[in-house]
Structures are given as structure tokens and as C-alpha cells.
Structure 1
């Protein structure tokens, strides 16, 4: 990790020109740089400190994530605080939050998070169905109420398989329409929406105010998606180099009131791609 950190710092200085604020006149992307900690899934087990130092060097001040294995939430938050990184959102497994939402609340509060997201509904691979959907709606409404009563916001993160056709729409439409807006919000993963056959732009136009969080990532040009909720890591490319209309998505997301944007790089080249993705966001104009 330490051998990797130095060239990354140089990349930040040369590619980004330092970690200055995005809040500049005429800029499309005007929010703090955010990252989903899964981006550094291969690095955190090697050295939490070196990984956080790398994240700080990129100018990142906002994170979605949880305490790495072997570390308490309090310990992880302290390390992030020391580097000026806020943990605004954390994730929870579906079974975990359904079984004990209060435990999830405790962990989220220890991290200082305001949002808790679930990114996967249990189902038979490639066979997500109406029964899975109805159970998720019931569970989401219930746990979302518990979280709200504790000052937190529950968000469901799409993964592509939800876009199976159903009636005059999709199973994703069913989830949005049948969850209580008071208790259930959404995090749009723009790659998985695109990969699942949906149009992120159309989703924002349709359900804008339901979205509170967003994963920024890009899908390689020429890749045709499916409803499996999976794609090889090489199909996750630097922002702006793929097939997703990121500028229009950001315009609509700002209008909808999305609160936090996290770059999530699921490739195996995160140290190369992250500085380029940040530079791309900084280059976007209104």
C-alpha cells in the first residue's frame, strides 16, 4: 500500500491540480468528493491507515462504508475524522437489518452516518420475482420506520435485477410505488441501472425526490447488460469513458435533491482510474 500511495499522490497533483473545492461557478459537479469504500476492497485488509491516507490524498472528504474487519466503528471513525473524511452513509446486509434493525442503528450512529443502505435482496440468481419484491417492500417499510425513529434514513440501492418487466413497468417500479416515502428512500447506482436495461435519466425524471444517494460509475461502451445483477470488473471504466450519460444524470440529480454522490470503482484498476474519474467530474460544466 505505501508503495502505491506516493504515485497516487503525484497523480492527484498533476491530474487534479490539488484538492480544491468543487463549489466553483459554472461547475456541474459542486459537491464534496465522495467514495464508496468497496472501491478499496483489496487495500483495506492490507492497511487501513495507508488506504485512508490514499483516499485523503485524492481530496475525498465523504465516504459510504463501514468499519473494516477487525476494527470497531469508533476506531474507524476516529481514523476518518483525523483525515477530514465524513462517513455520511453505511451499508447493511438485508438479513442483518431485517433481523435486528436496532443493531444497525447503533453501528450507523457510531460511524456518524445519516443514511443506511441495503444493496441486495436475497433471491435465486437471475430469477428475481414478485414474491421477492413483495417481501422486500414489507421489510423495507418496517425497518425504514425504525431507522427514521432513530434519526436515520433507509435507502435501497438498485443492482439491476429489479428491472424485470411487471405489468406496465418493472419490479423496481413496484418497489418504489409500494414503499412509504416517509420511511424508504433510494440510492441510484447508475451503472447497475443501465446494465439492468433501465435509463438512469428516465428514473430520475420519474422518481427524482425519492433518491437521496448516488453511486457514480461508468459501464464500458458496447457492453449489453442483463438482469443478473453482475458483470465482470473490466466492464467498470473511468467516469466519462463509458456509455452512461453522466452530465445529464448529475443535472437531474441536483434538481432532485440527491444529498451524497459516491464514486464506486469496481474495476481492478482503482488506483489508476480514481484520479481520472475525479478529474472528469471536475471538468464538467453547467
Structure 2
């Protein structure tokens, strides 16, 4: 009788593997944080803000501002808390004109990536602006990689998805930048807002995406190519319009290395814990 039961169990597993293999609960990658989420708090007290973020279980940071500290001072505060800075965000002008200084600060912080999140332009975004950005990114990215061992990433912001030829300006930028020196950070809201599908874009360009900003857009909001929306339209993950399970599955498959929560809203104290809970309970 015992052998019969075991045989039936074995046959059940073989025929219906879902019985034995349930979806693993919880997003499997480390959850990081963009400093911009806590920008107002960081401006008042960097140390206390780091304590708050660590209390949430987050130790991986992307800094876009030194908040009045030197890179050395900020690194000390991180080290004291066993936290790290994996990506350092800078302005376009600093990337182009102060590449060495940017690299020095990034390496002092312990970052592996340097990121730019906005290309200066007057709307609409044009081919001329895209060409200049490609030139600047290739040049600066080569310096960062060959002279400093750092990887440059450009963070999309929505305006790049205006139509161009058979695709978009974003497609043009991916095609024209050297993958040895230029990669990308996907801000999923700023892919969705101008009408694109983040999961499809991840499937299309795979490993060109090294970093990700995880955020969600309030239901009912209609997007455009402006790269702007009121900060109140940032909502807790899983409560907005984006298909986060599909996006994050595609990101894991593409090999995205760092995932940062970014919430620009004034409701960070309630929304960030809600977003973390959502990710911890997500089944992929």
C-alpha cells in the first residue's frame, strides 16, 4: 500500500509539476534606494536619514547628490552603517566637463556606476540633441571605463520615446552608443508615461540595462513626452498603472544588476514601506 501511495505521488508531481513547485514569494534581488526619494530629509540630516533607510532593511544606495558632504564624509557615514553606494548620479554638464572629478567622487563612494538622468534641451527633443548626447556619452563613458573602471548609464526620462524613423529617439541612442562604454538605467515610470512597454523594452535591449528605478504611476494619469508629471502621481508600488510582475520578470531575465525604489511624492513615509512590503510579497 505504501509503495502504491508513493507511486501516485510521484506520478502527480510528474504530471502536475505545479503541485510541487509553487512560485517563490518575494522579489529575489536586493532592493535599493535612490537618495532623491529622501531628498528633503537628506538636506536636513544625512546621518539620521541613512538610519531611517537602514531601518527599512535597505543598504544599497544610489546617490544623486552629496547633500553638502564631501564624498569621503558620505562614504564614512555609509561604512559606519554597513551600507553601500553602488551608483552615483551626476548632472550632464559635470559628466561632460568634470569627468575626472565625477570619477573620483564615484570611486570614493564605492560606486561602480555613474549615471545621468537628464539631457538639457528645449522641447521638443530633437535629433540634433540626441546626436550631441550620443557623442558626449561615448566620450565620457570611454574615459570612465578605461581610466577609472566605472560604467556609465543614461537614465531615460520620457522625451526620448518620441517617434524617429521606424522607432524612437531612444532606439537611435541605443544603436549609436558603444555598449562597451554606455549602458542604461531604466526608469520604468518614464518608459510607461510616454506610452512604451517597459517589459518589451527590457526584452528588446537585454543587458544594455544595468540599473532600474522602480516606481508606479497613479491610475488615471495620461502620459506624454514632457518628462514631467506632478510628484503626487508617484504612488506605492503595486497601486498604480504599471504591470510590475511582468516588468520585474523581464528585468531579472535581462540581468539588471541594481534595483532602486524611487518615490518623488510627499508621502514617502507611508508609501516606501508599502512598496517594500509589495516587493517582499511579490510572486514571480
Relative to the length of structure 2, the TM-score reads 0.90
The alignment's C-alpha RMSD in Å is 1.1
Out of 157, 166, 169, the position equivalent to 2:167 is 169
CA distance in 1, matches of 2:140, 2:25: 37
How far 1:67 sits from its partner (Å)? 5.2
CA distance in 2, matches of 1:69, 1:57: 20
- Structure-1 residue corresponding to 2:211: 213
How far 1:211 sits from its partner (Å)? 0.3
Out of 33, 39, 42, the position equivalent to 2:40 is 42
SS in 2 for 1:91: strand
Following TM superposition, the consecutive aligned residue runs of length 4 or more in structure 1 with deviations greater than 6 angstroms are: none
- Structure-2 residue corresponding to 1:137: 134
CA distance in 2, matches of 1:122, 1:183: 21
Residues 21-100 of structure 1 mapped to structure 2, 5 A cutoff? 26-27=24-25, 29-66=27-64, 68-100=66-98
- Unaligned regions of 5+ residues in structure 1, if any? 1-24
CA distance in 1, matches of 2:166, 2:26: 34
C-alpha contact (below 8 Å) 1:66/1:111 kept by paired residues: no
SS in 2 for 1:45: helix
How far 1:66 sits from its partner (Å)? 4.6
- Unaligned regions of 5+ residues in structure 2, if any? 1-22
- Structure-2 residue corresponding to 1:5: none
Asked if 1:128 corresponds to 2:125, the answer is yes
SS in 2 for 1:262: strand
SS in 1 for 2:153: strand
C-alpha contact (below 8 Å) 2:36/2:64 kept by paired residues: no
Aligned length: 261
C-alpha contact (below 8 Å) 1:87/1:111 kept by paired residues: yes
C-alpha contact (below 8 Å) 2:65/2:89 kept by paired residues: no
CA distance in 2, matches of 1:86, 1:249: 25
Out of 182, 185, 201, the position equivalent to 1:184 is 182
How far 1:84 sits from its partner (Å)? 1.8
Cα deviation per residue 1:224-244 (whole Å; 9 max; x = unaligned)? 101110000111000000000
Higher deviation after alignment, 258-267 or 67-76? 67-76
Which structure has the greater CA radius of gyration?
Answer: 2
C-alpha contact (below 8 Å) 1:44/1:68 kept by paired residues: no
Residues 109-120 of structure 1 mapped to structure 2, 5 A cutoff? 109-120=107-118
